[in-house]
Amino acid sequence: MKKRIIGRVKRVNGPVLIVKDIKDAMMMEMVRVGEQQLVGEVVKLYDGLATVQVYEDATGICPGDNVYGSGMSLSVELGPGLIGTIYDGIQRPLERLMEASGAFISRGLSFDAIDHTKSWEFTPQVKVGDKVHAGMVLGTVEETSRIQHRILVPPHMETGTVAEIAPVGAYTVENEIATIALDNGKQEKLTMMQKWPIRLPRPVDSRLPLKQPLVTGLRVIDSLFPLAKGGTVAIPGGFGTGKTMTQHSIAQWCDADIIVYIGCGERGNEMTDVLREFPQLVDPRTGQSLMERTVLIANTSNMPVSAREASIYTGITMAEYYRDQGYHVAIMADSTSRWAEALRELSGRMEEMPAEEGFPAYLPTRIAQFYERAGYMKALGGSEGSVSIIGAVSPPGGDFSEPVTQHTKRFVRCFWGLDRQLASSRHYPAISWLDSYSEYLGDVQQWWNDHSDGLWHKHRQEIMDLLQREVRLQQIVKLVGPDALPDTQNFILEVCNLFKTAFLQQNAFDEIDRFCPVQKQVKMLSVILAYYEKGLEAINKGVPMVKIRRLRAVQEMARMRLSVQNDDLEAIDKIQLRLERSIDQIGGVYEN
């Protein structure tokens, strides 16, 4: 890599360098700077000069230092061994960095992203003489006990015929496992590893309509504001409103096959928490460790800012790679605001003309490019897979009118707004039912109705309607006190209150409550609505509301999220039965 000198440093200003004597440098080419071999990327070329952003601390770089070209753009290595690994923003494995430089990260280190010496048990899926084209499966590797890694023909290869294929056996990612005789007469030798430039979306055959929800186990999301597989969502919230907790919960319990968790400019201890916790947690669906489906990228806030900018592209490229194998992948990006700020910082250092609040004018374009890489796709090989993006946004001062939140809102179709008031009263997840929305309601309606005897859409409408009415009633209560309302309206407040504590709130640390299956959600919602319906009927007959809310069954209902086992659906039916019976009973007393 040291051979080709593309130029020499002219000026150093933090992580942005001006390089002179440029001849054949390419845009977005990956470079190494100086004798310390710091990793960088060419971002601008003009008048024999180039602007290079370095992914490491620039201390010590001098004008006159050589800049070495690598001839390719910043790329990631893709192959078996990604799962369960923790990387920095430019795909350096942090565990290997620790072996090399101890507890603190030194500069100028580079390692292979995936272990080139480890052997994997390869099973071929094609025979000599088979016709193959880009995206087809050549063979499989058991990457973890739950992920079967499919070795694909690289996306840009022409069609050809298998000339040689390795038999079942152990191979490293560097061993050749197949030789393809291309139709144009050339031969191509393939290994189990591919490289792909991070800023370029991997090609697919076609986009498919979104139909399935990404089930997260969080009731407020699944039942009220569902996200579709292949969809995009933003979670904005000021500090302390629970963005990271919500992201962790989704990463832990959602029904995606693979999770790519990007800690982009966030706290070091949070990533340690994930590293410590995920291997111990067990997936309720498969009974296996959650780490067996997770790839982590940690570029904490004190790690170099340009690597932070790269980290979300590194993450989404890995996600697309697994999507191409036919998996459903969910990406958590925490937080995209830090990424936008990295853009701003670098743009400022390049002395570009700023737009809103110092952010560069191309901010919306970049946000759009990122979110558009999500989708439910038919891969080149014919299988179907999806990438869903869950992006946290950290608006300064919790003010949703700032540029990153506003531009993100333009390009996502689902919005889970976190509310400080709710967080302060420890109502978690603090997702506001008034600010949030989902445009996927229509897309996933069919699926949900199939899983709820056709009731979901109707029930969701009913409860949303009650919540809206509650807001207006609360305004009145604030002026004149609750006693001024008739019982029929007071009862709406009562039901909404119950709905908030019994349904919307969820305790992430409770063995039962942290994950709520779809069936339980459906039952819980219908028992609460039955309470409203029956209660209202009784009140109209003259029963005072106090009598109803003191019923034992109502107390049971308030605790059902914690007390009823997730697979014990009959218990909720029983609560509903008891509830209806006891309301009928007091109703009967007043009727006569």
Region 44-63 residues binding other proteins, contact defined as CB under 8 A: 57-63
Distance (Å, whole) CA 238 – CA 220 = 19
User: Of 300 and 388, which CB lies nearer to other proteins in the complex structure?
Assistant: 300
Encoded amino acid at 400, one letter: F
Helix pair 403-411, 363-371: axis angle to 10 deg: 40
Name the strand (E) or helix (H) holding 465: helix 456-480
Q: Which of residues 347-366 bind other proteins (CB under 8 A)?
A: 348, 351, 354, 357-358
Binding track, positions 238-267, relative to other proteins; x by CB under 8 A: xxx----------------------x-x-x
119 in contact with other proteins (CB under 8 A): no
565 in contact with other proteins (CB under 8 A): no
- 61 within 8 A of 34, measured Cβ to Cβ: yes
How far lies 469's CA from each of 114, 493, 498, 563, in Å?
55, 9, 15, 30
User: Of 168 and 480, which CB lies nearer to other proteins in the complex structure?
Assistant: 480
482 in contact with other proteins (CB under 8 A): yes
User: Of 37 and 445, which CB lies nearer to other proteins in the complex structure?
Assistant: 37
Q: Which of 488, 501, 540, 585 binds other proteins (CB under 8 A)?
A: 501
479 in contact with other proteins (CB under 8 A): yes
Binding track, positions 181-220, relative to other proteins; x by CB under 8 A: ----------------------------------------
- In whole angstroms, how close is the CB of 303 to other proteins at the nearest point? 5
Encoded amino acid at 3, one letter: K
- 393 within 8 A of 312, measured Cβ to Cβ: no
Which segment (104-112, 167-175, 318-326, 536-544) binds other proteins by CB under 8 A?
A: 104-112
- Angle at the Cα of 396 (from 359 to 299), degrees rounded to 5? 75
Please spell the DSSP secondary structure of 207-260, one letter per residue: EE---SB---S-HIIIIIS--BTT-EEEEE--TTSSHHHHHHHHHHHS--SEEE
- In whole angstroms, how close is the CB of 239 to other proteins at the nearest point? 4
Q: Which of 24, 95, 158, 439 binds other proteins (CB under 8 A)?
A: 95
Q: Which of 158, 183, 399, 573 binds other proteins (CB under 8 A)?
A: 399
User: Of 305 and 331, which CB lies nearer to other proteins in the complex structure?
Assistant: 305
- In whole angstroms, how close is the CB of 106 to other proteins at the nearest point? 6
Which segment (132-140, 183-191, 282-290, 337-345) binds other proteins by CB under 8 A?
A: 337-345
User: Of 269 and 461, which CB lies nearer to other proteins in the complex structure?
Assistant: 269
- In whole angstroms, how close is the CB of 553 to other proteins at the nearest point? 15
Which segment (164-172, 254-262, 283-291, 342-350) binds other proteins by CB under 8 A?
A: 342-350
Please spell the DSSP secondary structure of 326-349, one letter per residue: T-EEEEEEETHHHHHHHHHHHHHH
Biggest alpha carbon distance in the chain?
A: 98
With CB under 8 A as the rule, give the number of residues binding other proteins.
79
Question: Tokens at residue 207, please?
Answer: 């986009």
Q: Which of 3, 46, 47, 102 binds other proteins (CB under 8 A)?
A: 102
Distance of CA 582 to the CA centre of its chain: 45
Helix pair 403-411, 336-349: axis angle to 10 deg: 120
- In whole angstroms, how close is the CB of 116 to other proteins at the nearest point? 20
- In whole angstroms, how close is the CB of 104 to other proteins at the nearest point? 4
Per DSSP, 166 falls in state P
User: Of 168 and 479, which CB lies nearer to other proteins in the complex structure?
Assistant: 479
Q: Which residue has the tokens 């602007």?
A: 51
104 in contact with other proteins (CB under 8 A): yes
Q: Which of 118, 186, 189, 276 binds other proteins (CB under 8 A)?
A: 276
Q: Which of residues 544-563 bind other proteins (CB under 8 A)?
A: 558-559
Question: Tokens at residue 19, please?
Answer: 């390089």
First to last CA, the chain: 93
Q: How many CA atoms lie within 13 A of 205 on its CB side?
A: 19
Distance (Å, whole) CA 150 – CA 148 = 6
- In whole angstroms, how close is the CB of 323 to other proteins at the nearest point? 26
Which of 453-459's residues contact partners 24+ apart within 8 Å by CB, and which partners? 453/522, 455/522, 455/526, 456/223, 456/522, 459/522, 459/525, 459/526, 459/529
Q: Which of 3, 167, 475, 483 binds other proteins (CB under 8 A)?
A: 483
Q: Which of 30, 74, 83, 97 binds other proteins (CB under 8 A)?
A: 97
Q: Which of 302, 446, 488, 565 binds other proteins (CB under 8 A)?
A: 302
User: Of 269 and 488, which CB lies nearer to other proteins in the complex structure?
Assistant: 269
151 in contact with other proteins (CB under 8 A): no
User: Of 102 and 185, which CB lies nearer to other proteins in the complex structure?
Assistant: 102
298 in contact with other proteins (CB under 8 A): yes
Q: Which of 143, 334, 341, 494 binds other proteins (CB under 8 A)?
A: 341
Which segment (23-31, 155-163, 375-383, 477-485) binds other proteins by CB under 8 A?
A: 477-485
Nearest of 475, 519, 473 to residue 496 by alpha carbon: 473
- In whole angstroms, how close is the CB of 471 to other proteins at the nearest point? 15
Q: Which of 140, 300, 432, 490 binds other proteins (CB under 8 A)?
A: 300
Distance (Å, whole) CA 197 – CA 76 = 6
Please spell the DSSP secondary structure of 371-389, one letter per residue: HTT-EEEE-TTS-EEEEEE
396 in contact with other proteins (CB under 8 A): yes
Distance (Å, whole) CA 407 – CA 498 = 36
SS3 state at 584: helix
Q: Which of 6, 7, 12, 81 binds other proteins (CB under 8 A)?
A: 12
Q: In what order do the strands lie in the sheet with 120-124?
A: 148-152, 137-142, 120-124, 169-171
How far lies 28's CA from each of 71, 297, 359, 411, in Å?
10, 21, 21, 25
Which segment (163-171, 187-195, 423-431, 568-576) binds other proteins by CB under 8 A?
A: 423-431
Q: Which of 119, 145, 187, 269 binds other proteins (CB under 8 A)?
A: 269
How many Cβ atoms are within 10 Å of 285's Cβ, its own excluded? 12
